[in-house]
Structure 1
Amino acid sequence: MPELPEVEIVRQSLDKKIKQKKVKKVIVRNRNLRTKIPLNFPRFLEGKKIIKVKRFSKYLIICLSNQSYCLLHLGMSGTIHLIYNRKKSLVTNTSFYSSPTLPKKHNHVEIVFDDLKIVYNDPRRFGFFEIVVNEHFLDKRLSKLGPEPFQSEFNLSYIYSFLKGKTKNIKNFLLDQNFVSGIGNIYASEILFLCKIKPDKKVSLLNKEDCKKIIFNSKKVLINAIKKGGSSIRDFKNTSGKSGNFQKNFNVYERKGLNCKRSGCNGIIKKKMISNRSSFFCNICQI
């Protein structure tokens, strides 16, 4: 599943390519995504200009000229492809994961502009499009999500009050979008490695220094991943021709059985299933 850095890369690509362009036509080939695409979705978008493309957590927010919004979530396997009318591109995917070129199957939605179109592809169909008629309803729609690690609201006081009296492990909380928005399985493992905290450690055992480390390293890992183009596990390029290479910097993720990279540590990276998700950690320096 794409996490915050991957979605941010898609946002940057889209904002650069479709901002200030008017939607000419919308083609919905399959309404049956996680939630059904509204019947009036084409009419809602057609004729509107894209003011900009924003993001919150793992949501893309397409801002329209009539002050309404199109909310898009990529789910587990959703990708957006840029297809130009008059030139062929070896790479169409705005993401760094899945196929670098447009697959022949599972192309559910096309949004057409004068010189290009964007195509939404999603084999598992866990992604979705939503119509949001104004800013009030957008704020309401996103209000249940926790703050992003970059926001000032994600602070020591917030973490302490949220975790007080809870019994779950810290890995599950980092994946809980009601607690903090945008962190997924890959980056949770990387964050906890830098914090020297085992993923299955109960939050009741965390002290203030642990919480400060979580705040600092959540920002650090995500910012670094965005700078390096997200985690292109399969090493594809995006439409600018650049490869995401954060995976070259993984300390623990998918490094089971390898030596710990931390200086002076003789530990071995272990893999453990936590709530049906793979967790990677050092058996020595994470406690």
Structure 2
Amino acid sequence: MPELPEVEIVRQSLLKNIKGKKINKVLVRNRNLRLKLETAFEKKLKNKFISNIKRFSKYLIIELENKNFCIVHLGMSGTIHIIKNKKDNLPTNTSFYNTPNLPKNHNHVEFFFKDMRLIYNDPRRFGYFQIFNDFNSLKKKFKKFGPEPFNKKFNSKYLINYFKKKEKSIKNFLLDQNFVSGIGNIYASEILYLSKINPSLSAKYLKQDQCKNIVINSRKILQNAIRKGGSTIRDFKNTKGDQGNFQKEFKVYGRDKQNCKRFSCSGTINKITQSNRSTFLCEICQK
């Protein structure tokens, strides 16, 4: 599943390509996504101008000229493809997973602009679209979400107060969108490695300096991932034909049985399972 950095790269691609453009037509081939598309979906978007493309957590937010909002969640396998009318055989994928070009099947929703088309592809159909008629309705959607790692509310004081008497492991907290929004499995492992914290440690045992390190390293890892174009885990290329490069800097994720990359550490990276997800850690650095 795309995490915050990958969705941010998609946002940047969409901002560059469709901001200010008019949606001439919407074609829905399959309404049965994770949330069934409402019957008025096409009507609410047709002939509307796109005023901005924003992001919160792992959600894309398409802001329309009439102050309506359409959010997009890519789910497990959703990708967004841009097909320019006068350019053939170029990578179309604005996203980070699967083929860089438009697949033949599972193209569920299509937006038509004057000089291009935007196509939503999703084999598993875990992604979805939702339309909100005003900002307050959109705000309610995210009411229970925790702050993003870049938000000033995400600080050591917030962590210390949140973790009081909490038995759940710190790794599972980093994946809990009610605690912090946007961090997924890959980056949680990398953040805890950089912070020298065992992913299985109960959050209530974290000390103040450890909480501070989590805040600092969450921002550091995610900012670096965005600069590197996200992480390519499978066959990803963006609309320029470039792969994300952050996977080349993984210190632990996917490195089971390999040597720790930390200077002067003789440890080995181990893979464990937490809540049915793979976690990677150094046997020495993260005791």
Normalising by the residue count of structure 1, what TM-score does the alignment of the two structures yield?
0.98
Q: How does 1:121-136 map to 2 (within 5 A)?
A: 121-136=121-136
Q: How does 1:46-125 map to 2 (within 5 A)?
A: 46-125=46-125
Residue deviations 1:175-210, cap 9 Å, x none?
000000000000000000000011111111111011
SS of the residue corresponding to residue 111 of structure 1 reads strand
TM-superposed CA distance for 1:272, in Å, is 0.2
TM-superposed CA distance for 1:17, in Å, is 0.1
Query: How far, CA to CA, are the matches of 1:236 and 1:74 in structure 2?
Result: 15
Paired position in structure 2 for 1:41: 41
Q: How does 1:146-225 map to 2 (within 5 A)?
A: 146-225=146-225
Q: CA RMSD in A?
A: 0.8
SS of the residue corresponding to residue 182 of structure 1 reads coil
Residue deviations 1:84-104, cap 9 Å, x none?
122214210001221111111
Query: How far, CA to CA, are the matches of 1:237 and 1:129 in structure 2?
Result: 24
Amino acid at match of 2:197: I
Amino acid at match of 1:254: G
Amino acid at match of 2:251: N
SS of the residue corresponding to residue 97 of structure 1 reads coil
SS of the residue corresponding to residue 278 of structure 1 reads strand
Q: Does the aligned pair in 2 maintain the 1:96–1:229 contact within 8 Å?
A: no
Amino acid at match of 1:189: S
Paired position in structure 1 for 2:2: 2
Q: Does the aligned pair in 2 maintain the 1:235–1:245 contact within 8 Å?
A: no
Query: How far, CA to CA, are the matches of 2:74 and 2:96 in structure 1?
Result: 13
Unaligned residue ranges in structure 1 (runs of 5+): none
Residue deviations 1:36-81, cap 9 Å, x none?
0111000000010000100000000000000110011001110000
Residue deviations 1:131-187, cap 9 Å, x none?
100111111111111000000000122111211111000000000000000000000
Query: How far, CA to CA, are the matches of 2:17 and 2:85 in structure 1?
Result: 13
Query: How far, CA to CA, are the matches of 2:173 and 2:210 in structure 1?
Result: 14
Amino acid at match of 1:9: I
TM-superposed CA distance for 1:237, in Å, is 2.0
Amino acid at match of 1:57: S
Residue deviations 1:108-131, cap 9 Å, x none?
100110100110001111101001
Query: How far, CA to CA, are the matches of 2:211 and 2:224 in structure 1?
Result: 20
Amino acid at match of 2:38: P
Query: How far, CA to CA, are the matches of 1:222 and 1:281 in structure 2?
Result: 18
TM-superposed CA distance for 1:235, in Å, is 5.2
Query: How far, CA to CA, are the matches of 2:114 and 2:89 in structure 1?
Result: 17
SS of the residue corresponding to residue 80 of structure 1 reads strand
Q: Percent identity?
A: 61
Query: How far, CA to CA, are the matches of 1:192 and 1:157 in structure 2?
Result: 18
Unaligned residue ranges in structure 2 (runs of 5+): none
Paired position in structure 1 for 2:138: 138
Matched residue count: 287
Q: Does the aligned pair in 2 maintain the 1:74–1:126 contact within 8 Å?
A: yes
Query: How far, CA to CA, are the matches of 1:12 and 1:256 in structure 2?
Result: 33
Amino acid at match of 2:152: S
SS of the residue corresponding to residue 55 of structure 1 reads strand
Amino acid at match of 2:231: S
Normalising by the residue count of structure 2, what TM-score does the alignment of the two structures yield?
0.98
TM-superposed CA distance for 1:236, in Å, is 2.9
SS of the residue corresponding to residue 108 of structure 1 reads strand
Worse-superposed segment, 239-248 or 49-58: 239-248
